[in-house]
Structure 1
Amino acid sequence: MGGDITGEINYFSHTIDGSPQWMDAGAKLGYNTTNHAQTSVRVTIQDLRGKENTVDLDTNGFEILKYDGLMHEIFVDNSEIQRRFYEEIATVLKKRLNASRVIVFNHINRFRGPNLSADQCDSTHRNPIFSPHVDHDPPSARFKVERILGEEEANKVMQNRFQIINIWRPLGPNPIINTPLTICDYCSLDPHNDVHAGTVYNSPNESDVAQFGAHTAFKNENVPLMNVEQISIELRCLVLYDR
């Protein structure tokens, strides 16, 4: 991206019908079906190239790791390559976080320049989302653990600390230029006032640790629109601990 830039971020403003806010997070085309009204605000977006070591998961809600694996291209769902990639990412997270177990339970490939049409989208092939969000609030995180492990095992593991962590990286030969990912620094947030219902993590035993990483795609106005395929992958991982 070539240095810090100013870009528009579409923040939640109010609900269009006056009722409690809701969102269909299963939308595929790059927008969520919702009753949210949004306000675009121009903010400074920092380029972390060359400053990768200045952010930390526990402090900022995200961090940057170097990928030294073999998977650089989009893969076929439920293939041996997918299994190996899931295993590879689980090993990286387990080592980095000193976790007892890591389960990669989902992935989504996102396409830019050009975007996918409606008939090209499915559960693992989608377009970017252009509104800041957190994927799981505490109730949905607990529900997800039950879906993955079953109620009995979930009740056991949730007696200890657990996390749901997203891994994001580009795929293919073309860098993500036109609509990159940006993540909100947790240190810049007041989680009780800046984040709306359904997205605040409460953890009284870890009040000094970042609880989430709000994130969104944004349109990079500083580069020409490129009609070449730009693909990223995000993987959602359940991270379990012994205590």
Structure 2
Amino acid sequence: VLTRRNADGSDSGGTGVKVDSCEISIADARIEGATCESNGFELVDKPNDATRDFYDHAAVLDGYYEECAEIVQENTGASFVAAFDHNIRSALGKEAQRRIKGGQEVQGPAYMAHGDYTLTSAPQRLLDLTKPSSTNDTLRGLLGDKPLLTKDNAEAALAGETRYAIINLWRSIGETPVITDALTLCDGRSVVPEDLVVFEIHYADRIGENYFTLPSEDHRWLTYPAMNQDEALLIKQWDSAGTLAQSSGQHGDGSKNAPCTFSFHTAFTGPKLDSKAPRRESIEVRCVVLYD
């Protein structure tokens, strides 16, 4: 089960993948509430710089990466946070053939429930960040041959001496609140290991892994209606302190006394949406998080 991804971020399509659409009930997270620690996601009020051009690769790297790291650090209390990658998505991106100035191709919303990392790819990504950036890495233009992390920090985290996480910061970058192609997130505590399907992403210089999920009536899905530019959504992609991570995939994150490992997320099409409503535009920045 795999796809091949080229240097501009485009996928060649899936191999060994059979995708079924399904209907799910989605609760209002603004009413029910959620935290990144327990559920795997959390919305925070963080006003956006209205003058920033998110379609300018250099502008995102030079200023927005640091801003995202500060937001994640403030929310988690971690000792170290650094942004290392990002995606721009637009529901009209491919249709309009729009590209990012100095960067990758604009991607469409991902209509596939997925988690960005697995038991294999999360620790591997941590190790990768101790090496000079590879061809496909966004940081190559920023750091050159310098690594983002020290080997000592990464090895301590992978040995279980310290905790590490990967958290994405998602933000709407459209002029109007998100109405179409919105994002829904699965409470990490409602997922069990039997739901997980490993999906490989073949790059020119490495192989990454995502998790897909089998449908389950036990999954608890939520969304934040009408997200706007002045709100930032934290989405946990991996947490080494989660029960699933700690048990090497033998147990799910059902405990209320422990953090969840990650949250599945996907774009979705809701009922009775105005076809003329503005289409979603968003940015998602990946951050590596280290704790003492």
Q: Give TM-score scaled by structure 1 length.
A: 0.76
Task: State yes or no: 1:116 paired with 2:159.
Answer: no
Distance 1:67 1:179, change over 3 A: same
User: How many matched pairs?
Assistant: 217
Deviates more, 1:28-37 or 1:175-184: 28-37
> What residue in structure 2 maps to residue 66 of structure 1?
45
1-side partners of 2:96 and 2:48: how far apart? 32
Superposed, 1:41-190 pairs within 5 Å as 41-49=22-30, 51=31, 54-70=33-49, 73-79=53-59, 82-112=61-91, 114-117=92-95, 120=98, 123=104, 125-150=106-131, 152-153=151-152, 154-159=154-159, 160-189=162-191
| Partner residue of 2:21 out of 31, 40, 46 | 40
Unaligned runs of 5+ in 1: 1-20
Cα distance change on mapping 1:202 and 1:138 into 2, 3 Å? same
8 Å CA contact 1:30–1:127 kept in 2: the answer is: no
Do the aligned residues in 2 keep the contact of 1:31 with 1:130 (CA within 8 Å)? no
In structure 2, give the amino acid aligned to 1:184: C
In structure 2, C-alpha distance between the alignment counterparts of 1:223 and 1:28, rounded to whole Å:
29
Q: 1:183 to 1:133 in 2, by over 3 A?
A: same
Q: Which has the higher contact order (CA 8 A, sep 6+)?
A: 2
TM-score computed with the length of structure 2 as normaliser: 0.65
Percent identity (aligned): 26
The answer for the alignment partner of 1:214 in structure 2 is: 264
- Correspondence 1:203 to 2:246: yes
| CA distance in structure 2 between the aligned counterparts of 1:29 and 1:176, rounded to whole angstroms | 24
For structure 2, the 5+ residue unaligned runs are: 132-149, 199-209, 212-237, 239-243
> 1:134-161: per-residue Cα shift (whole Å, max 9, x none)?
1011221122112222383432443421
Find the aligned partners of 1:181 and 1:38 in 2 and give their Cα distance. 18
Q: What is the CA RMSD across the aligned residues, in angstroms?
A: 3.0
Partner SS state of residue 87, structure 1:
helix
1:29 to partner: Cα distance = 6.4
Offset from partner CA, 1:84-121 (integer Å, 9 cap, x none): 21111111111211111111001111001x34249545
Residue 17 of structure 1 corresponds to none
Q: Which amino acid aligns with 1:116?
A: K
